[in-house]
Structure 1
Amino acid sequence: MSSINTIAKIVGLTSAAWLSGNISALSLISIPAITNVKQDSSLSNAHAVRLWEQNYQRGASQNPPIALGAAASLGFLAWSLRSVHTATLVGVRPSPLIAIAAVSTMAIVPFTVAFMRSTNNKLLTLAAKAKKDELSVTETEDVDSLLEKWTSLNRLRGVLPMAGAVAACIAVIA
């Protein structure tokens, strides 16, 4: 295998795995920590939604470029290995598995748009109102359910690049 393929393999696989961890950490650590502190102390819904917003903004700026880089590396690798007919451990040629890995990793973008946009927009609206101290009592009551829904959806989203990393790993171990 050429050095460029080795680099594409390393970049694609590690980026997909890192992306999954980065996304999943929000649902497994960060947002649950915010909701726990909110329940255990006097952290307001306004502060909770502002903390969520900070996590969201960092993820929104970091994750799509990482997904694109991982998918591009994996896509290149799938293309460059298209003539390899040796089956992997699971009996499939490496190129289709790596193509699946590329698509799965990049799938965070359409998943976010299709399934998370509404919840994201509601939370962003609440965060904007919280900045101006304009949250109503009714709106603050929605924060817990929106954070819970977002956390569940984000957990699912974190599985996509992990599936990509696993598929790529199976393809390159052969």
Structure 2
Amino acid sequence: MSSYSLAFRAVQVLGITGAAWLSGNISVLSMNAIPRLAHSGREHGATLNLVAKQWNSIYDTGKAQNPPIAILITSSFLYLAWATRSGGPFFRQARSSCARFYFAAALLTLSIVPFTLILMNSTNTALRKLAASSEESSRNADVQSASLLERWVTLNGIRGLLPLAGSVVGLIGALV
């Protein structure tokens, strides 16, 4: 067994558990919160325009909270990759492939940002427009809102898997 410093082990724990936590934080919206909001809207007669406003509030919270957390976790994995690379301070204790796993974990975790900007932007923009609308709900708007929310739930569910994959790859890096 290799002997790493306590600080190094703490960074491993931060990266691996942080990425798993971030995955859960993102995924719970697709598994529970947003589908429940939409269902509750239909069940209790709330317009999907109101549901879109509630989605927007949740979205704004995640938009403010998750990027800094993703950067911290990514930084942890990048430090681990740097420290275990050839010539790094922990190179002798680490297996040769260890740095590659940590680097891949960093990329997977940070990839939530381009995923959001590239693949989710049009859906987010459309939902934000619906949330900002002061129009009374119509059947057409409700159908559009429901469709957009379903698409968002799917895309966000996929996005939530990225830091989970980062956590698993980081764990493999710690175990090899």
Fold match by TM threshold 0.5 = yes
Shift of 1:23: 0.3
Detail structure 1 runs of 4+ shifted over 6 Å in the superposition: none
Pair 1:16 & 2:32 matched? no
Listed one character per residue, the Cα deviations across residues 78-117 of structure 1 (whole Å, up to 9, x for unaligned) are 1001133754xxxx71110010000000000000011000
> Tell me, which stretches of 5 or more residues in structure 1 are unaligned?
none
* 1:17-46 deviation digits (Å, cap 9, x = unpaired): 110000000000101111111222212112
Gaps of 5+ in 2: none
RMSD after superposition: 1.5
TM-score (norm 1): 0.90
- Does residue 72 of structure 2 align to residue 69 of structure 1? yes
Percent of pairs with identical residues: 38
Distance in 2 separating the partners of 1:141 and 1:29: 20
Equivalent pairs, count: 167
- From 4, 9, 18, the equivalent of 2:7 is 4
Tell me which of 52, 71, 96 is aligned to 1:49.
52
**Structure 2 equivalent of residue 105 of structure 1:** 109
Q: TM-score, normalised by structure 2?
A: 0.89
Alignment match, 1:134: 135
Q: Which residue of 1 aligns with 2:173?
A: 171
CA contact (8 A) 2:48 2:137 kept: no
> Which amino acid in 1 is paired with 2:68?
P
1:49-103 deviation line (CA, Å, top 9, x unaligned): 111111111110111111100000110111001133754xxxx711100100000
